[in-house]
Protein backbone atom coordinates (compact mmCIF):
# COMPACT_ATOMS: atom_id res chain seq x y z
CA UNK A 1 0.00 0.00 0.00
CA UNK A 2 2.86 2.36 0.86
CA UNK A 3 4.45 1.81 -2.55
CA UNK A 4 1.20 2.75 -4.29
CA UNK A 5 0.98 5.94 -2.22
CA UNK A 6 4.59 6.95 -3.00
CA UNK A 7 4.13 6.30 -6.73
CA UNK A 8 0.84 8.23 -6.76
CA UNK A 9 2.37 11.15 -4.84
CA UNK A 10 5.33 11.31 -7.21
CA UNK A 11 3.07 11.16 -10.25
CA UNK A 12 0.77 13.92 -9.00
CA UNK A 13 3.60 16.20 -7.89
CA UNK A 14 5.25 15.87 -11.29
CA UNK A 15 1.94 16.58 -12.99
CA UNK A 16 1.35 19.65 -10.84
CA UNK A 17 4.79 21.04 -11.55
CA UNK A 18 4.45 20.55 -15.28
CA UNK A 19 1.00 22.14 -15.25
CA UNK A 20 2.34 25.45 -13.91
CA UNK A 21 3.40 27.87 -16.57
CA UNK A 22 6.22 30.33 -16.12
CA UNK A 23 4.81 33.69 -15.06
CA UNK A 24 6.59 36.71 -16.46
CA UNK A 25 6.41 39.70 -14.11
CA UNK A 26 4.70 42.71 -15.63
CA UNK A 27 6.76 45.67 -14.55
CA UNK A 28 7.07 47.60 -17.76
CA UNK A 29 5.19 50.67 -16.50
CA UNK A 30 7.14 53.91 -16.05
CA UNK A 31 8.12 54.85 -12.50
CA UNK A 32 6.47 58.20 -11.66
CA UNK A 33 8.82 58.76 -8.70
CA UNK A 34 12.44 59.82 -8.52
CA UNK A 35 15.06 59.54 -5.80
CA UNK A 36 16.31 62.77 -4.27
CA UNK A 37 19.53 62.10 -2.39
CA UNK A 38 20.18 64.05 0.84
CA UNK A 39 16.92 65.99 0.68
CA UNK A 40 16.48 66.33 4.45
CA UNK A 41 19.08 68.12 6.55
CA UNK A 42 19.96 66.59 9.91
CA UNK A 43 21.61 68.60 12.70
CA UNK A 44 25.40 69.00 12.53
CA UNK A 45 27.25 65.78 13.28
CA UNK A 46 24.28 63.49 12.63
CA UNK A 47 24.08 60.91 9.86
CA UNK A 48 21.02 59.04 8.68
CA UNK A 49 20.53 55.60 10.10
CA UNK A 50 17.81 53.15 9.30
CA UNK A 51 14.51 55.00 8.89
CA UNK A 52 11.69 53.25 10.70
CA UNK A 53 8.73 55.58 10.08
CA UNK A 54 7.77 58.51 7.87
CA UNK A 55 4.46 60.36 8.21
CA UNK A 56 2.86 63.60 7.03
CA UNK A 57 1.85 66.11 9.72
CA UNK A 58 -1.72 67.35 10.08
CA UNK A 59 -0.63 70.69 8.62
CA UNK A 60 -0.07 68.91 5.28
CA UNK A 61 3.38 70.42 4.73
CA UNK A 62 5.58 69.02 7.51
CA UNK A 63 7.00 65.51 7.67
CA UNK A 64 7.78 63.43 10.76
CA UNK A 65 10.64 60.93 10.51
CA UNK A 66 11.77 58.34 13.05
CA UNK A 67 15.33 57.21 12.43
CA UNK A 68 17.63 54.88 14.33
CA UNK A 69 20.46 57.08 15.65
CA UNK A 70 22.71 56.88 12.60
CA UNK A 71 22.82 53.08 12.67
CA UNK A 72 20.24 50.31 12.94
CA UNK A 73 19.48 50.68 16.67
CA UNK A 74 19.31 53.40 19.30
CA UNK A 75 20.27 51.05 22.14
CA UNK A 76 22.44 52.96 24.60
CA UNK A 77 21.99 56.30 22.79
CA UNK A 78 20.44 59.48 24.14
CA UNK A 79 20.12 61.10 20.70
CA UNK A 80 16.69 62.20 19.45
CA UNK A 81 15.05 59.65 17.17
CA UNK A 82 11.99 61.56 15.94
CA UNK A 83 12.36 64.66 13.77
CA UNK A 84 9.83 67.05 12.32
CA UNK A 85 10.90 68.64 9.04
CA UNK A 86 9.33 71.72 7.44
CA UNK A 87 8.59 72.04 3.72
CA UNK A 88 12.15 73.29 3.15
CA UNK A 89 13.40 69.92 4.54
CA UNK A 90 14.92 71.54 7.63
CA UNK A 91 14.38 70.05 11.10
CA UNK A 92 12.04 72.14 13.23
CA UNK A 93 11.66 69.77 16.16
CA UNK A 94 13.47 66.75 17.59
CA UNK A 95 12.49 64.40 20.37
The string of pLDDT tens digits covering residues 3-59 is: 666 566 666 665 555 567 777 777 888 889 998 888 888 888 888 888 889 999 999
User: How far is the C-alpha of 49 from the C-alpha of 47, rounded, in Å?
Assistant: 6
Query: pTM of the full predicted structure?
Result: 0.60
User: How far is the C-alpha of 75 from the C-alpha of 95, rounded, in Å?
Assistant: 16
Q: Where are the domains of the chain?
A: 40-95
Amino acid sequence: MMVVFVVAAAAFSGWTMSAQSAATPMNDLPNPYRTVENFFTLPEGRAWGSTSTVDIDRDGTSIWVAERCGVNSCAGSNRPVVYKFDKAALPTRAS
